[in-house]
Amino acid sequence: MGIVNGHDLDLMRESGRIVRKALDEMMAMTVPGVSTKEIEMTGRKVIEKEGATPSFLGYNGYPAATCVSLNSEVVHGIPSHDRIVKEGDLVSIDVGAFKNGFHADAADTVVVGLADPRAMLLVRTTYEARDRGIAAARAGATLGDVGAVIQETAESQGFSVVRALVGHGIGRKLHEPPQVPNFGRAGRGMKLTEGLALAIEPMVNIGGYRVRTLEDNWTIVTIDGSLSAHAEHTLVVCGSEPLVLTGNSGYH
């Protein structure tokens, strides 16, 4: 379990800063006509220029440094020269960086150009769910408190939260215990303690919560083809509001 303090926290902040920078540059170039591979190359360049390595590249054989998932793709979209972003697309970008022995991990979602109001509501609700989940993640609260507020936020708009994928502890490894479900019941589950580093990452669908994996063995899509949004931060639990290490994008 990733309990960080003092010097380790400073190192993890640095990884978080790099993730933020990569994500900001990737988000800024997400306009009609750009390929998801070009977005990947920009993110990878930022990470490497900052003296970090991409957390995802080679993880369980994942073939890229970032995930760029379009529309009904939930997560783990593999960047490709053939995937061109177009007006109205919902684009989720996920990136992790490893430096000085510590990982940070974050994701943002944007709807490109003239957006369908329902897609915009989905994106706004996903950020709200994540940020309310983060606010609930303080020492003495439980994982169920976090999951419950995320689930309530999504479902209050008629959306659903993906069950098959969850957030995670993070630190010296990209994925550490505990698992952090985006659903649950207040008061249930593990109690959070100061210094625990978590990646909280709701995936919210307009339709049902069920997902499947494409033939590339990575891309996760909604079963019903409905749009899906993803928002993630890496944070450290404190006595009051947690310390968010992957910053603020200014996109929401």
Binding residues for ligand MF3, per CB under 6 A? 56, 59-60, 62, 67, 76, 94, 105, 107, 168, 199, 201, 232
Stretch that binds Co ion, among 18-26, 158-166, 179-187, 193-201 (CB under 5 A): 193-201
Q: How far is the CB of 96 from Co ion (least distance, A)?
A: 7
Partner in contact with 111, chosen from Co ion, ligand MF3, none, beta carbon below 5 to 8 Å by kind = none
Q: Which of 105, 128, 145, 176 binds Co ion (CB under 5 A)?
A: 105
CB under 5 to 8 A by kind: which of ligand MF3, Co ion, none does 59 bind? ligand MF3
CB of 168 to Co ion, least distance (A): 6
C-beta of 213: minimal distance to Co ion in Å? 17
DSSP designation for 191? B
Question: Quick check: 199 binds Co ion (CB under 5 A)?
Answer: yes
Nearer to ligand MF3, 106 or 111 (CB): 106
Across the strands, what pairs with 106? 95
Burial 51-65 (b: 16+ CB within 10 A, else e): ebbbbbeeeeebebb
Buried b (16+ CB within 10 A) or exposed e, 34-46: bbbbbbbbbbbeb
**Torsion sign across C-alpha atoms 114, 118, 121, 122:** negative
Taking the C-alpha atoms of residue 37 and residue 40, their distance in angstroms, rounded to an integer, is: 5
Question: How far from 187 is each of 141, 145, 159, CA to CA, in Å?
Answer: 7, 6, 23
Minimum distance from CB of 165 to Co ion (Å)?
9
Closest among 72, 66, 2 to 38, alpha carbons compared: 66
Output the six-digit token pair for 10: 């400073």
Which residue has the CB atom at the shortest distance from ligand MF3? 62
Least separation in angstroms between CB 9 and ligand MF3? 20
CA 13 to CA 146: how far, in whole Å?
22
The verdict on 67 binding Co ion (CB under 5 A) reads: no
62 binds, among Co ion, ligand MF3, none (CB under 5 to 8 A by kind): ligand MF3
Q: Report, in Å, the least distance between residue 97 CB and ligand MF3.
A: 12
The site for Co ion (CB under 5 A) is made up of 105, 199, 201
